[in-house]
Structure formats: C-alpha cells, structure tokens
Amino acid sequence: MFPEALEFHVSGSINNLVEWMLHTFRGFFDWVAEAILGMLMFLNDALSILPWWAYLLIVCILAWLTTRRVATTVTLTLLPLIIGIFGLWELAINTLAIILAAAFISILVGIPLGVLIAESPIAAGFIRPLLDLMQTMPSFVYLIPAVIFFGLGYVPAVFATIIYSLPPIIRLTDLGLNQVSEDVIEAALSCGATRWQLLREVQLPLAVPSILAGINQTTMMALAMVVVAAMIGGGGLGYEVLRAINRIDVGSGFEAGISVVILAIIIDRLTQGLAKRWEPPTVNNS
C-alpha cells in the first residue's frame, strides 16, 4: 500500500477554485448558457418544422450538388428512411440540432483561433500544446467541467461537445494557412500586399480545402460526443443508446446505434463532397 503519510489532496483547492470561478464569472456563465440554449432551441424548432420528406429532398439535392454521383445520391437519400422506420426520427432531429449548434460555434471560434496561431508564434506556443492535451483526453473528461459550470441538461451537453470538437478545425485551419506555397506568398508580397490582404486574398482562399476538411472532422467529433453527452442530459439518440445499455436491451441499442451511424455517414459524405468541389481545375482545357 502507498504510505498514507505521503498522500496529498488537491481536490479541496480545486473545488475552491471552481467555487470562486463560478461566483466571480457568474454573469459570463449565465450569458454563455443563455446563448447556447437560445441557439439550440431555435435550431430545434426550425428543424422540427420541416416535414420528414423535406429532409430527404435536401439530402438528395446536396448529395447531387457535392458528389454528382447517382448511386451515392440515391443511397444517401434513402438512408434517413431507416431512422424513421425505427421510430427514432424526432430523437435524430434533436441530436442533429445539438450537432449543428455545437459545430457552428466550434467553427465560429475555431477558424479565428487557427488564423491566430498560424500568424502568431506566441499564441501558437500556448495553444498548440493545449490542443495536444485536449486530443489525448478521453471524451468523458469533458463532461466534468461542463457539468460543473452548467449543471445537467442541454447546455452542458452542447458545451462539452463544442470543447471536444474544437481541436480539428483549429489545427486544420492552421495547417491550411501554413501549407500555402512560399512562392505564391512571395509573389503577393512583391505586388504590395499588406498582411491583411495576404491573408484574405491568398492564404485563406488557398486554405479552404483544409478548412473544409476541418469542418468535416469537427462535425464528426461533435456527433461522436453527442452520444456521450447524453449522460449529462443531452437527450436525442444518445439517450436511447444509454437507455438500451442500462436495460441490456440489445435490440433497441442496435436500432439507435444504426441511426447514429446513418447520421454520421450522411454528414460525413456531404461535408467531404463540399471539400472536393472547391479545388480549382488542374487538367488541360476544362
């Protein structure tokens, strides 16, 4: 046994720190919670207005626009039917709302952060190690601060999902900006580009494929987390999975699991197709 005399607990101080933060930044946390909840409710209402077939139509159009393949389009369009047949349509819409809310906020925060670390070595020195740390932590860990700051319910679920899905978009924005060839940057500078013009006219447009790949990954991470976040009140398909586990109900678990996978496939295909569309033509005579 480890000698008891050597034990030293930091849990007390950490609890105090959290207590202090909650007290001091109460206004801020309330504001964040309200913003997240407002956005989620709006998305959920908006998504619920659409009838089920409208989703098939939207998926069909997007799939055709981004992939231009008949087989892919037909498959992607028919897949959501399965969710409906299993009776999980409404839960899937709830899950979709959380994913969209979280991914949207991640992208909104992540792209500027990616630009920041690409431009400033000092910021990169702080943020890159943090991102490494974040990506090595198991997803459950993110539930802890979420619960501490926001209790149980939708808001902490979205919050945990945002934190978990943030690293890829930051990294891939940074990567995309750094990958822009030195030749092109030099040429733009020689034409008299300011730093801002260089970013806006050259680096960001050329980083778009990488940024879109980041959006794809961030959305997929959000989907993965949303299932876990059901443990703290995220609801949706994740809750269905959780309930099936608790009851050892293999059948329901299978139905909910398949529905999550279908959601994942559709989101993945559509966002990936978007990234491919972006590349400028390279072959002779387009």
Near another protein by CB under 8 A: residue from 58, 60, 193, 264? 193
For another protein, what does the binding mask look like between residues 197 and 216, x meaning CB under 8 A?
x---xx--xx----------
Tokens of 7: 């034990």
Neighbouring CB atoms inside 10 A of 231's CB total: 16
Q: Examine residue 187 and tell whether it contacts another protein (CB under 8 A).
A: yes
User: In the bound complex, what is the minimum distance in angstroms from residue 198's beta carbon to another protein?
Assistant: 9
For another protein, what does the binding mask look like between residues 136 and 175, x meaning CB under 8 A?
----------------------------------------
Q: Examine residue 189 and tell whether it contacts another protein (CB under 8 A).
A: yes
Question: How would you label 80-118 residue by residue, b for 16+ Cβ within 10 Å and e otherwise?
Answer: beebbebebbebbbbbbbbbbbbbbbbbeebbebbbbbb
Q: Give dist(CA 222, CA 211) in Å, integer.
A: 16
Near another protein by CB under 8 A: residue from 186, 250, 254, 277? 186
Cβ distance to another protein smaller for residue 200 or 247: 200
Q: Examine residue 241 and tell whether it contacts another protein (CB under 8 A).
A: no
Q: Examine residue 280 and tell whether it contacts another protein (CB under 8 A).
A: yes
Long-range contact set of residues 177-180: C-beta below 8 Å, sequence gap at least 24 = 177/114, 177/115, 177/118, 177/119, 177/203, 177/204, 177/207, 178/118, 179/206, 179/207, 179/210, 180/206, 180/207
Near another protein by CB under 8 A: residue from 144, 184, 245, 250? 184
Q: Examine residue 286 and tell whether it contacts another protein (CB under 8 A).
A: yes
Cβ(270)–Cβ(62) below 8 Å: yes
Please give the residues from 31 up to 90 whose contact with another protein meets the rule CB under 8 A.
none
Cβ distance to another protein smaller for residue 132 or 186: 186
Q: Count interface residues toward another protein (CB under 8 A).
A: 23
Q: Give dist(CA 7, CA 210) in Å, integer.
A: 48
Q: Examine residue 285 and tell whether it contacts another protein (CB under 8 A).
A: yes
User: In the bound complex, what is the minimum distance in angstroms from residue 277's beta carbon to another protein?
Assistant: 13
Cβ distance to another protein smaller for residue 175 or 206: 206
Q: Give dist(CA 280, CA 83) in Å, integer.
A: 37
Tokens of 45: 């209402």
Q: Give dist(CA 82, CA 88) in Å, integer.
A: 9
* Chain residues in the site for another protein (CB under 8 A): 183-184, 186-194, 197, 201-202, 205-206, 280-286
